[in-house]
Structure 1
Amino acid sequence: MSDNILRFENISKTFPGVKALKNMSFEIHRGDVHVLLGENGAGKSTLVKILTGVYQADEGGTIYLNDEPVKIHDTLQSRKLGIGTVFQENSLIPHLNVAENVFLTREIRGATGAIDWKKTYAECKRWIRELGVDHIDPRTPVRRLSVADQQIVEIVKVFSQDPSIVILDEPTSSLSDHEINNLFRIIETLKAKGVTFIYVSHRMEEIKRIGDRATIFRDGALTGEIDDCKKADMDQVINMIVGRTLDEKFPHRESHIGEVALEVDDLQIPNTIYDISFKVHKGEVLGFSGLVGSGRTSTAKAIIGAIPRTCGTIKIDGKPVKINNPSDAIACGIGYLPEDRKYEGLLLTKTVKENISLPSLRRKFSRGIVINSRKERDSAEEYKEKLRIKTPSINRMTKFLSGGNQQKVVFAKWLCSEANIYIFDEPTRGIDVGAKSEIYQIINDLVAQGAAVIVISSELPEILGICDRVIVMRDGRITANIDRADATQEKIMSYSI
Structure 2
Amino acid sequence: MRDANDIAEAEPNAPRSDAEPPYLQLDGITVSFPGVLALDRVSFDVRAGEVHGLMGENGAGKSTLLKVLSGVNDPQAGALRLGGVERRFANTKAAIDAGIAIIYQELHLVPELTVAENLMLGQLPGRFGVLDKRSLVERAMGTLARLGEQIDPNAQVKDLSIGQRQMIEIGKALMRDARVIAFDEPTSSLSSRETKQLFEIIDALRAEGRAIVYVTHRMDEVYELCDRVTVFRDGRSIETFETVEGLDRDRLISCMVGRSIRDVYNYRAREHGGVRIEANGLMGPGLSEPASFSARRGEIVGFFGLVGAGRSELMKLICGAARPSAGHVELDGRRVNFVTPRDAVRAGIAMCPEDRKQDGIVAIASVADNLNISARRHFSIGRILLNARRERELTDDYVAKLSIKTRDGDTPIGTLSGGNQQKVILSRWLAEKIDVFVMDEPTRGIDVGARAQIYELLYGLAEGGRTVLMVSSDLAEVIGVADRVLVMKEGRIVGDLPKAEATPDQLIKLALPQ
Give TM-score scaled by structure 1 length. 0.80
What residue identity is the alignment partner of 1:113?
K
Preserved contact between residue 283 and residue 326 of structure 2 (Cα < 8 Å): yes
* C-alpha distance in 1 between matches for 2:157 and 2:485: 31
Cα distance, 1:341–1:191 mapped onto 2, change above 3 Å: same
* Deviation (angstroms), 1:3: 1.7
Confirm whether residue 267 of structure 1 aligns to residue 283 of structure 2: yes
Distance 1:496 1:22 in 2: 45
What residue ranges of structure 1 are gaps of 5+ in the alignment? none
| Structure 1: distance between partners of 2:108 and 2:334 | 43
Shift in Å, 1:198: 1.5
**Paired residue type of 1:440:** Y
Matched ranges for 1:179-194 at <5 A: 183-194=198-209
The residue type equivalent to 1:267 in the other structure is M
Hey, what's the Cα distance between the residues in 2 that align with 1:486 and 1:424? 22
Q: Is residue 83 of structure 1 aligned with residue 135 of structure 2?
A: no
Letter matched to residue 153 of structure 1: Q
Pairwise mapping of residues 53-452 of structure 1 onto structure 2 (< 5 A)? 55-57=72-74, 63-66=80-83, 67-71=85-89, 73-74=91-92, 78-89=95-106, 103=119, 105=121, 113=133, 124=144, 127=147, 150=162, 152-161=163-172, 162=174, 163-174=178-189, 183-230=198-245, 232=247, 234-245=249-260, 247-255=262-270, 256-263=272-279, 265-269=281-285, 272-281=286-295, 282-307=297-322, 313-363=328-378, 368-369=383-384, 371-452=386-467
Q: 1:188 Cα shift?
A: 3.2
- 1:148-205 Cα offsets, whole Å, 9 max, x none, are x62x334422333324323222234455667655544443333222122212222334
1:457 aligns with 2:472: yes
CA 92–3 in structure 1, closer or farther in 2 if over 3 Å, else same? closer
Instruction: Give the percent of matched residue pairs that are identical in Structure 1 and Structure 2.
Output: 33
How far has the Cα of 1:59 moved from its partner?
5.2
Contact 1:266 1:274 in 2 (8 A): no
Q: 2:51 is matched with which residue?
A: 33
1 CA distance for matches of 2:335 and 2:113?
A: 42
Letter in 1 for 2:26: R
After the TM superposition, which residues 45-56 of structure 1 pair with which residues of structure 2 at under 5 Å, given as runs? 45-52=63-70, 55-56=72-73
SS at match of 1:160: helix
How far residue 429 of structure 1 moved from its aligned partner, in angstroms, is 1.2
The verdict on how the C-alpha distance between 1:369 and 1:301 changes in structure 2, with shifts beyond 3 A counting, is same
Determine the structure 1 residue equivalent to 2:60: 42
Q: Distance in 1 between matches of 2:506 and 2:111?
A: 37
Task: Give the direction of change, closer, same or farther, for the CA distance of 1:168–1:299 in structure 2 (3 Å limit).
Answer: farther
Contact 1:101 1:157 in 2 (8 A): no
Match of 2:23 in 1: 4
SS in 1 for 2:284: strand
8 Å contact kept, 1:358–1:413: yes
Local SS of the residue matching 1:391: coil
2:54 aligned partner, one-letter code: L
Deviation, 1:38, is 1.9
Secondary structure at the counterpart of residue 437 of structure 2? strand
TM-score w.r.t. structure 2 length?
A: 0.77
- Contact persistence 1:473–1:496 (CA under 8 A): no
Provide Cα deviations, 1:375-416, integer angstroms capped at 9, x if missing partner. Answer: 544443444345443333343222323344434433443344
**Separation in structure 2 between the aligned mates of residue 225 and residue 206 of structure 1, nearest angstrom:** 17
CA distance in 2, matches of 1:33, 1:115: 33
Q: Which runs of 5+ in 2 are unaligned?
A: 1-19
Distance in 1 between residues matched to 2:154 and 2:512, nearest whole Å: 28
Distance in 2 between residues matched to 1:490 and 1:140, nearest whole Å = 45
- Supply the distance in 2 between the matched residues of 1:95 and 1:285 (Cα, whole angstroms): 45
Cα distance in 1 for partners of 2:493, 2:125 equals: 45
Q: SS of 1:153's equivalent?
A: helix
- Matched pairs, number: 481
For residues 115 and 419 of structure 1, what CA distance do their matches in structure 2 show? 60
Q: Does the C-alpha gap of structure 1 residues 176 and 113 become closer, same or farther in structure 2, counting only changes over 3 Å?
A: closer
Q: What letter is aligned with 2:275?
A: E
- Root-mean-square deviation (Å): 4.0
- Give the superposition deviation at 1:119: 9.3
Distance (whole Å) between structure 2 residues aligned to residue 298 and residue 107 of structure 1: 45
CA 406–35 in structure 1, closer or farther in 2 if over 3 Å, else same: farther
The aligned amino acid for 2:449 is G
Contact 1:87 1:170 in 2 (8 A): yes
